[in-house]
Amino acid sequence: MAIDTLSLSRQFPRWRLRWERLRGNILLVVVMAVLLAMIVIPIGRLLINSFLEGHPALPEGWTLQNYTTAFGMPLFYQALATTLVLATIGTAITVVIAVLFAWLIERTDMPCRNLAWALILIPMAIPGVLFALGWALLLSPKTGAMNVFLRDVFALFGVEITEGPINIYSIGGLIFLDGLRGVTTVFLMVVGAFRMMDPSLEEAARVSKAGTVATFFRVTLPALSPAILAAAMYSFISSMESFEAPLAIGLPANIFVLSTLIYFTTRIQAPLDYGLAAVFGVSYMILMVFLLIWYRRAVRNSERFATVSGKGFRPRIVSIGQWRYPALALFVVYFLFAVAAPFCVLLWTSLLPGYRVPSIDAIRLITLDNYREIFATDRVFEVIWNTLVLMVVAATATMVLAFLASWIIVRAPVRGRGLLDGLMFVPHAIPGIVIALALIMAFLTPPLRYTGLYGTMGILVIGLVIAYISFGTRLMNSAIMQVHKELEQAAYVSGASTAKTLFFITLPLLFPAFAAGWIWVAVHALRAFSIPLMLSSKNNEVFAVLLWEFWENGTASLASGLGVLLIIALIPLSLLMRRFIVQVSGQQG
């Protein structure tokens, strides 16, 4: 056979060039492969299992019965309606409170504004499950501390009530908890917009003799409406994913949302039905994807309404006169409801042999025995170790992958960057309970079954990385855009490889953003609940899972003690986050 040497000589350099390019960017290729596999495989497995009957590890064949059963269940539609109602009303409450506090803290002369800025981050230190359990102790219809106090007050006026008057185990209770829980996140999303708003718009309103209230509603809010709308939509999506409060408060009252319906189907009901749960998960995920597309379009369109101003300005502080101290009192009331009340009742319960309504007689029973019992249990130290490992490894892995993915998206001259950018945002549309369900099905079936990761800390790390990678890439995308590419090009000219350039030049320049992201992920990993609860086993239990186990077993005092320790560990991290948030917002401003 004749060999076309001319053809070979022409093609060889091309293949060699491609090989050299691949070898020089092997880090980027590996990162893209890992990210694609980490997200696509579990989602694909979830979709496949929705068409299978039987246990994921021992499927019994293909079927459409899962979809027929799911869409024929009235409970499914009730859970969907409850989820939407809870998210809608809860988001409205959250946005009103957060926007009001952002304006009071950033733009007015309310007293103690700097202290309020720091305190508004403290709710992040209280995991959602502890927040719900604290309010369960406060507003339980029969024994809740606040209900007992209210009944005593009514009795002074001759009104005798044997139960209530407030029942936390209701739709209203869930809306109340959801409305308070999201305030910090929305506040952080809109406070920068209040800080960077062009002050000339408000000055023009004042020249026209508009008062403070009229200026706020007719100028400030309309000018910031795109940022507020984006924050509201983000809050709505987060509320749709709510799991802790619906589990602790809704499930005992037979109130289901989509997340607790999946948990009930895979962990409580007999027999367990993974195929049905997969249909619920796929439906839940599709709904969230549509909401995410809507959110991204709103954020993209909001750029058309941006106002431009220089870095050297500072919007004038608005005097609210006689409303200064009522505004501070309003913030104090919020802080009492969001932090002080649930923390104090948990602390009180942790110091008693069992829960008792606060009273002078109960003070005599105060003891540290619960804490001694907690630290005398070998299992607790294993759980603490698992929790710390999960926090550090998940935060580090998430931010390193987010940094590399963001660099590929913003800088790397490779095809498919837009696809990778979109893919990195997809996990934000997947609730934690669905991520956990997808991982169960992926790691119980070949080929991932042979990795041996199911039931280990490794699967928890993967679950949390998937859950938080969207946040990490959004943060690092913005940060990388602030660093001029000439710095990296100078390193390449000096003979530095891509990996050395990224980790020794680019990453140090982005340290404030990287650190802010790391702390954010660490805080959320430390307080994570839905993914660890779904994926828990005796080998990978973490703090939140053990706490829930104590609560379910009726040992509220031990659960409260663990909760107090967890909150104390989270408060310094939450406060430290403010320092890096301010640095990042200052750099981007």
No. of helices (H) and no. of strands (E), the chain: 30, 2
CB–CB of 199/315 below 8 Å?
yes
Mean pLDDT rounded to a whole number for the chain:
83
Spatial CB neighbours of 104, under 8 Å, sequence gap ≥ 6: 110, 113, 116, 320, 327, 331
CA dihedral 499, 505, 507, 510 (to 10 degrees): -150
**How far is 551 from 558, CA to CA, in rounded Å?**
8
| pLDDT > 90: percent of the chain | 37
Helix (H) or strand (E) holding 60: strand 58-62
Residue 61's SS3 state is strand
Q: How far apart are CA 380 and CA 359, in angstroms?
A: 31
How confident is the model over 426-435, as a mean pLDDT? 86
Model pLDDT, residue 89: 95
Residue 466 burial (CB count, 10 A): 24
Q: Which residues pair with 55 in a beta bridge?
A: 58
pLDDT for 206 equals 65
Query: Are the folds of 26-63+374-589 and 84-312+320-337 the same?
Result: yes
May I ask the CATH class of domain 26-63+374-589?
mainly alpha
Q: How far apart are CA 275 and CA 67, in angstroms?
A: 9
- What is the structure's pLDDT at 310? 46
- pLDDT value of position 326: 93
Q: What integer is the mean pLDDT of 465-485?
A: 84
What's the confidence (pLDDT) of residue 135? 95
pLDDT value at 510 more than 50: yes
Of 49-58, 424-433, 493-502, 572-581, the least confident: 572-581
pLDDT tens digits for 480-497? 887 777 777 777 777 777
pLDDT at site 434: 92
DSSP string computed for 137-167: HHH-TTT-HHHHHHHHHHHHTT---SS-S--
Rounded Cα gap, residues 370 and 389, in angstroms? 25
Per residue in 334-347, pLDDT tens? 999 999 999 999 99
The tokens describing 329, both together, are 């009192």
Q: How confident is the model at residue 457 (pLDDT cuts 50, 70, 90)?
A: very high
List, for residues 28-85, the tens digit of each pLDDT value: 778 778 888 888 889 999 999 999 988 888 888 899 999 999 999 999 999 999 999 9
Q: Check if the beta carbon of residue 355 is closer than 8 Å to that of residue 137.
A: yes
Statement: residue 566 has pLDDT above 70: yes
H-run or E-run covering 247? none
> How far is it, in rounded angstroms, from Cα 278 to Cα 55?
11
Q: What are the sequence ranges of the domains in the chain?
A: 26-63+374-589, 84-312+320-337
For 88-92, 366-370, 425-429, 465-469, which range has the lowest pLDDT when averaged over its residues?
A: 425-429
Tell the CATH superfamily of the 84-312+320-337 domain. Answer: MetI-like (1.10.3720.10)
